[in-house]
A and B are shown apart, each in its own frame.
Chain A
Amino acid sequence: MSEIIANEGGGKRKGKRRAKKHSTHIDMTPMVDLACLLLTFFMLTTAFSKPKVMEIVLPEKKEIKDPPKLDKDKVITVILDEKDKVYYYLGLAETGKPLPILVETNFSKDGLRKLFLNRNKALFTNITTFNEAVLKEKKNIPADTLKKQIRALKKADKVGPFVMIKAAENVKYGNIVDVIDELEITNVARYAIVDINLLEKKMLEEKKNAPKK
């Protein structure tokens, strides 16, 4: 046996055959390229921002036998009309009494926002000072508690206006959201979306037909 091995060994001149020295380095560039490409793809397709929502609660549709009396001085009625038109009047429109004056306004900073801000001064300053105090003291208050406290502030408010949003025919949905948004910006505590009534329709008609100055 050993002979055979010796023979075989003798057949080769340079002794043991060595494996050729390969470098163990693998060129990873294509792999990196691919990984980078996929990474970019997934990063971009990932939905980073979830959509935001605005919460509204509508009153239950039940026949209320004796609706709560609204304080006449606090009521602001906002009437929306087609082509982004918006009007408001103060107080209540009642049959047999002189109708309130309908005023045209707009969705800009000096329009609805100014009106609501002026009427809602007390609550607005309350909430702003509260927010500032929280920021200043740098208290670590959970968002839920903060919201609850603001809600309590809103509930305790007695002087703020009561805003009624009414829509005439052919009003864009976006306009309604705009009004609610303005109310949220100015921290108005009480508002409702109500159906327009005949008197208001009449007022709107008259306002539209009135010659412009």
Chain B
Amino acid sequence: MSKIKLPSKPPKIDMTPMVDLFFLLLTFFMLTTNFKPTEAVIVDTPKSISDKLSPDKNVITVFVGKDNKVYFNIDNGSDSTSRIRRKVLLKVAEHYQVQFTKVQVRKFENLSSFGMPVKDLPRWIDATDQKVRDAMQTGVPMDSLNNQLEMWVLMARNENPNAETAIKGDYGADYKTVKKVLDLFQKYNMNKFNLTTTLEKVEAKLDNK
């Protein structure tokens, strides 16, 4: 009578290859991740069938929120050594005679979109609490008396002539506000716009009746 001996110990699995694989993937994802910078406002973009990808460098973005507040963002350009954000900030600060410390300028380079008058920018940069920061986002002034958005656009355009424009408007935003932004860009001969939308595939068929 031969008995099949059951192994008394559970079999050991060699986990080394698994660990290898995990670490490989982990390294890959860690290196490829670039954290989405926190945007100043949550924008519910309209849907469209366009599948063109938005440019991620050399782009001047204007956000138009649901409440018709306008936010501005510009990136550092395709060559990050050109430090476009810094140059634009310094130019605008000079124009409005707002003082920024060196630390503030450096911090600003790594920040994202903002929406406030220039004089509030230093306080926004220094704020550490996200809630305080969010509360300060009152929109970039763009009325005819105090058109700071225009100054930002003009300076951004001067520093980075290759920049494209992107407009990220909320579905519920007033067209009037968006139109104002479009007009402003057109004033400086920028006639091509990228409207940020969410992809939604739609098929149209012609019925031959």
User: Cβ of B15 and Cβ of A29 under 8 Å apart?
Assistant: yes
Given contacts A55-B192, A57-B192, A172 and B197 within 8 Å (CB-CB)? no
User: Cβ of B174 and Cβ of A172 under 8 Å apart?
Assistant: yes
Q: State whether the Cβ of B202 lies closer than 8 Å to any Cβ in chain A.
A: yes
Query: What 1/0 flags go to A165-192 for Cβ under 8 Å of B?
Result: 0010111111111101100111000000
User: Cβ of B174 and Cβ of A170 under 8 Å apart?
Assistant: yes
Q: Which of A6-14, A30-38, A97-105, A153-161 is the interface stretch? A: A30-38
Measured between C-beta atoms, what is the minimum distance from B143 to chain A in Å? 18
Question: Which residues of B (32-75) have their CB < 8 Å from a CB of A?
Answer: 32-36, 45-56, 64
Q: State whether the Cβ of B101 lies closer than 8 Å to any Cβ in chain A.
A: no
User: Cβ of B51 and Cβ of A52 under 8 Å apart?
Assistant: yes
Measured between C-beta atoms, what is the minimum distance from B108 to chain A in Å? 23
Measured between C-beta atoms, what is the minimum distance from A125 to chain B in Å? 6
A169 to B177, CA, bound (A): 11
Q: What residues on A are CB-neighbors of B64 within 8 Å?
A: 173
A170 to B176, CA, bound (A): 7
A60 to B191, CA, bound (A): 6
User: Cβ of B174 and Cβ of A55 under 8 Å apart?
Assistant: no
23 contacts between A and B (CB under 8 A): A28-B19, A31-B19, A53-B166, A53-B196, A56-B195, A58-B182, A61-B183, A80-B175, A117-B204, A167-B179, A170-B176, A173-B46, A173-B172, A173-B177, A174-B170, A174-B172, A176-B175, A177-B46, A177-B169, A177-B197, A180-B48, A181-B202, A184-B50
The 6 A-B pairs with the shortest beta carbon distances in the complex, nearest first, are A174-B171, A42-B29, A53-B194, A54-B50, A35-B22, A177-B46
Sample of 14 more A-B contacts, CB < 8 Å, known A28-B19, A50-B54: A28-B16, A31-B19, A39-B25, A42-B29, A42-B33, A50-B53, A53-B52, A53-B194, A60-B189, A121-B206, A124-B204, A172-B172, A181-B197, A186-B204
